[in-house]
Structure 1
Amino acid sequence: MINSKFKQWLQLAAIVKETYPNVPKFKCPSCSSGNINFEYIGDAIRRKGYFLIWCNECLEGILISRIEIPEKATVIPFGATPDQTSHIPNYTKVLP
């Protein structure tokens, strides 16, 4: 059985993908804060990579690998420098 909190995070990830670049504000499934952030990391040409979404308040979120990156999304490249990823916290991954 899938963790209900993980499922809610997956739903937020789907909203981001469907609405990018006009992503609506939404609340954290873990703490109800509106301070959610996300990044796509991968290959900007092939539009493949992974997706990070987290809450800046409770520092929980998920990572989804092997995702198609939306055409207009900004992509941090694989092997990015620490300067390119320093804003991504070491958050706790909610598990399925």
Structure 2
Amino acid sequence: MSESQFKDWIKLSAVIADVQDTTNIECPNCHQFDVDYQYVGDIQSRTGFLDIWCNACLHGIHLSRTKAPEKASIIPFDAVEEYTKKVPKFTPIEPV
């Protein structure tokens, strides 16, 4: 397994903002096509954070202060149970 870089994961955030289907997105870490994401935030303003992870290797990133696109699914800040069901505990890739 290669060690992915934070910048490789950041690039995925731009791709995810444009598409809803992640089946063609390759994980920068293990190169599997099993990437998923979830926006969490204020439903009215659609601002909050974004988690992107790979279900195969369980690596990913957490991006704060982001805005969810109109078509993207967003979980409210207070929906902790919904968040924990959707987002697995992944190993965060940190900037170096």
* TM-score between both structures, scaled by the size of structure 1: 0.87
Gaps of 5+ in 2: none
RMSD: 1.8
Gaps of 5+ in 1: none
Shift of 1:74: 1.3
* CA distance in structure 2 between the aligned counterparts of 1:94 and 1:46, rounded to whole angstroms: 27
Q: How many residues align?
A: 92
- Identity, in percent, stands at 38
SS in 1 for 2:5: helix
Quick one: which amino acid aligns to residue 7 of structure 1?
K
Question: Where do 4+ consecutive residues of structure 1 move more than 6 Å?
Answer: none
* CA distance in structure 2 between the aligned counterparts of 1:48 and 1:59, rounded to whole angstroms: 25
* CA distance in structure 2 between the aligned counterparts of 1:81 and 1:9, rounded to whole angstroms: 24
* CA distance in structure 1 between the aligned counterparts of 2:89 and 2:79, rounded to whole angstroms: 16
* TM-score between both structures, scaled by the size of structure 2: 0.87
1:7 aligns with 2:7: yes
